[in-house]
Structure 1
Amino acid sequence: MHRGSLRAPQPFVAVNCASIPETLIESELFGYAEGAFTGAKRKGLKGKILQAHGGTLFLDEIGDMALPLQTRLLRVLAENELAPLGSEQSVRVDINLICATHRDLARMVSEGTFREDLYYRLTGAVFRLPPLRDRSDLGELVDFFLADEAQAHGTRSALSDGAMACIRRYRWPGNVRQLRMALRYACALAAARGVIVAEDLPDYLRCPADAAPAAPVPASPSVAAQAFDSAGLRPSELLERARIAQMLACHHWRIKETAKALGMSRATIYRKMARYNIVYPGSASLPESPPLSMSQADEAD
C-alpha cells in the first residue's frame, strides 16, 4: 500500500505494538526530549511517528496498545502534531497510518479496552485477510516460497503431487508463516533430490487428524498409537492425554514449543507426561516402558 501511494519515496516505519514493553513504547512512538528521564539519551530521541513524517506509519498489533497511548495517538491523528516526552513544544507531523491486528476491535470497544473514538478513526478502510485454509491462492503462495528458497540457497525443489495434497488438506492454524517454515524445512531435506515428497514435510502435515482417509497404517512407536493403562483416568484426562500427545508429535517433541502451544509450563508438561505415561518414541519400544525421564525430555527440547 505504501509503495503504491504517492508517499512511496518517503519513509515507511513499522512498529509492532505487542513486541515493545509497555514501559518503553510511549518513548519509542513519541520520542523524548533531552533529559526527559534518567537514562535518556543526551540529545533525546526522535520517535517512530516523527521518523515516518511525510510517509507511512504501520502499527502492527494495534489491539495490544495500552489505553493511555491510544489517547495520545488519537490526539496526533486529530491535530497532526505531537509533543515528545519531557518537551513543552508540539511538533507538526504528517503521516499516513496503517494498522493491523488479530483481535476483534469492535468487541474490545464494547468491553472498554479499546477507545471507541480511535476505533472509528482507524476503520475508514478495512481489509479482512482470510485464514490460509480459506484462500484460493495456496498454490501460488507455495510457488512463491519455493522460488524464494531457491534464490536464497541456489537449489530449486519441485513439489510432488503427494506433498501438495498434504499441504492442501492441512488446516494451517499458523497461516502463512507456518506454511513458509514448513516449506523451508522440506526444501532442506529434499535439497539433494530436488523433489519434495510427502515424507519431507513436517510430521504434523501428515497427522491422521488432518489427513484424508487412507489404508490402515502398521503400528509404530508413535506416542499417539502407544497402548497404556487407562484405568482410573476420567474422560477429560483421556482427552488431555491425546491432546498433549498430538502436540508433542506436531512440535517434534520440543517441550518448550509444546508447552507454549498448550499454554502450560514446561514443568506441567513433564508432570503430565509422567502421569499419562507419554513416552518419547526413541526411548522405548514397549508400552510398559517407564515414562520419559527429565534428561531425555531435555534432549528432546
Structure 2
Amino acid sequence: METKPLPREAVLIVNAQSRKGEAHFAEAKALIEKAGIRLIAAHGVKNPDHMAETVRTAVESGAPMVIVGGGDGSLSGTVDELVGKDCVFAVLPLGTANSFARTLGLPLDVERAIEAIAQGRRRRIDLGMIDGDYFVNAASMGLSPMIGDTVPHKLKRYLGRVGYLLWAMKCSVGFRAFRLVIDDGDKEHRLWSTEVRILNGPFHGGVELSDDADVDTGEIVVQAIVGRSHMRLAWDWYAKFFRLRDRNAHTQEFRGKSFRLSAQPPQRLSIDGEVLAKTPFTAKVAGGAIEVAVPAGG
C-alpha cells in the first residue's frame, strides 16, 4: 500500500538549551523554508520543561508535521503528544548522542537532516513504554542513570560523548553491581548485572548496542551486562563502540512485548538520558505508535 507523502507544512520546535539548539535555531528556520516546507510557526524553547506543552499546542492546532530539534531526551519527552494523532514527527538532531536520529538513518548535521526530511517519506514505528510513559529510543539502569543525573551541564554541552566518558570513569569508582529479576510473563530470569538497557532501537549513547533491536519489530529488547565485574561493563562499551567480533560476549538479551523488571538494591532508570523512574517497572512495546519522517531510502 502506497503511503501518503510527507506534509509540506510544519511547526518547528527547538530545545534552545540542547547542545546545539540555540546556535542552530535561526539556521534551521531558513533551511526548512528553503527546502520547500512552509513553517506555520517556529519556537526556540528556552526552558526544556515547556517543550511538551509547546508540541501539544502545535498538534492540537492541526499542524500536519512537527519538527522537534534537540537531543534524545527532548524527543522522548515530547513524543507522547503525537501518539494516536494524525501528525508526523520529524527529528532535527541537535543533542549529544543523537541515538534516535541514528536509528532512523538521519544525517547528524542540520542542513543534511533537513534535506532528508524535505525529500523523505513517512514510516510508522514502535515506541517503548516504561509503565505509562512513552520513549523513543532506550532506557537504562545501572551506571548510566548515575552519569546522566550528575554530569555537569557544561561538560556535556562542550565535550559531548567525550564528556560522558570522562564522567563515567569518575562515577564507576563507587558503583556496585545489582541483583536483577526479569519476568517475561512465563518465567523469572535472575542474574547479577552492572547495566541493563531497554531498547526500542539499536543505539544508546550514540553506540550501536544491539544487532536485533529496531523500531518496527513489534518487540522490545532487554539487554543485560551479566556478572559483577566493572571490567566487563567497560569492555562491553569498548567492544560495541568498535564493533569487535566478540562484542556480545558479556550480554544476555530478552525479546518480547512486555517485561517486569526489579532489582536489589533498587535501581533508578534513565529514559533517553533523563532519570525519570525506578525499579520495579514494566517495560513494553507500543507497536506502530507514531509516524516519523525518514530519508527516502530509509
For normalisation by structure 1, the TM-score amounts to 0.24
Greater relative contact order structure (CA < 8 Å, 6+ sep):
2
Query: Quick check: which one's helix share is greater?
Result: 1
**TM-score, with normalisation over the residues of structure 2?**
0.24
